Copies of this chain bind each other. A is one copy, B any other.
Amino acid sequence: MGSGKPTIDDVAALAGVARVTVSRVLNGGPNVSDKVRQAVLAAVEKLQYKVNVQARSLAGGKSRVLGLIYSSDVETEPNSFYYSAIELGALRACSQVGFQLGTHAVNQHSLRKADLVMEIIRSRRYDGLILTPPFSDDAELLENIKAVRFPVVAVSAGRPAQSIVPSVSIDDEAAGYELTRHLLLLGHRRFAFIKGLEGHVSAEDRYLGFVRALEQAGIAPTSARVERGSFTFRSGIDIAARILNGSDRPTALICANDDMAVGALFTAHKMGLQLPRELSVVGFDDTPVSEIIWPPLTTIHQPLKTMGARAAEILFDTVSGEPPQPAEHGLANLVPHRLVIRESASSPSL
């Protein structure tokens, strides 16, 4: 001692207590008299002591690190805001309680993607894992994780996944319904819908809400042109071109996420359409681009940061041995979404 970083023993010596006692104070353990606690704290302060996290991890059997799994895909990278926001939220929650966050990009097209995730779990680096789409919708993977009793929470998972592991999401069906309703009230009758990649159940739920709104308004859902994109800006451009060049052009176009909506806007601009008079376009997510674009995008705001934070918090509880969520029910944490009305949707020109 003396030289190098101070250790717990230095603190114990200075405070005149045993090492265990220092440990107890540091970890908020019970049965420590106030006098001793003060002495220890004073010693910690004086020595500028910092626990050695690796030693703590080794001894305690917990790493105090959470992992975030997201899909790495060159294609979707512009879409990265979606993941960044979740990450930022989780990161903040983590640093508040002294946890770290490790992020892992996993290629979703890899045949071994589920194995890769299981390997991350086996590495024992993390106390818990936050899964984002499409991993959060992979029922088989989820079951595997559940089988080894590893703490996990699925973000934006669809209904089926929600019944397997704890999750945090918005009510995508309701959001899709509200968005469509808004368009309906604006006077639209001819719709087109660009879905996202298959397997993203929550995005699919948005379509379900769309269908419900249409039916309720007495419009046959089959009258709407429905295509499937890949969540990317480019796919939005291409599909919008197909849709808008066709006969009987719709007056309103709903996209399963903002990036595709922005792509659609791009195509519309290229075609020289007057926006939003000749075409209303709406998106989903409320990523930063939506208010930057011209015209600013009407969309559904998803509180991604909050969702990331909630996910981390659920994990903290699980890790520290809290009673697992009140069974079946509390398993799915719903956070509120919000319809954000901007200028990309208006009444159709008659």
A69 CB → nearest B CB, Å:
12
| A54 in the interface (beta carbon within 8 A) | yes
What is the 8 Å Cβ interface bit string for chain A, positions 99-117, against chain B (1 contact, 0 not)?
A: 0111111000000000000
Residues of B within 8 A of A28 (CB): none
Bound form: Cα–Cα A100–B57 in Å: 16
* A259, B288: Cα distance in complex, Å: 11
CB within 8 Å of B: which of A54-104?
54-55, 57-58, 63, 77-78, 80-81, 84, 87-88, 91-92, 95, 100-104
**Stoichiometry, copies per complex:** 2
Which of the residues B58, B103, B105, B123 comes within 8 Å of A55, measured between beta carbons? B58
Q: Does A52 contact B (CB under 8 A)?
A: yes
The answer to whether A124 touches B292 (Cβ under 8 A) is no
Does residue A293 face the partner (Cβ distance < 8 Å to B)?
Answer: yes
Contact of A53 among B125, B262, B292 (CB under 8 A): B125
Specify which chain B residues have a CB less than 8 angstroms from the CB of A24 in the assembled complex.
none
Beta-carbon contact of B84 and A5 below 8 Å? no
Task: Determine whether the beta carbon of A52 is less than 8 Å from that of B100.
Answer: no
Chain B residue numbers with a CB within 8 Å of A101 are 102-103
Chain B residues contacting A125 (CB-CB under 8 Å) are 53, 100
Q: Which of B92, B122, B292 contacts A293 (CB 8 A)?
A: B292
| A265 interface neighbour in B78, B100, B294, Cβ under 8 Å | B294
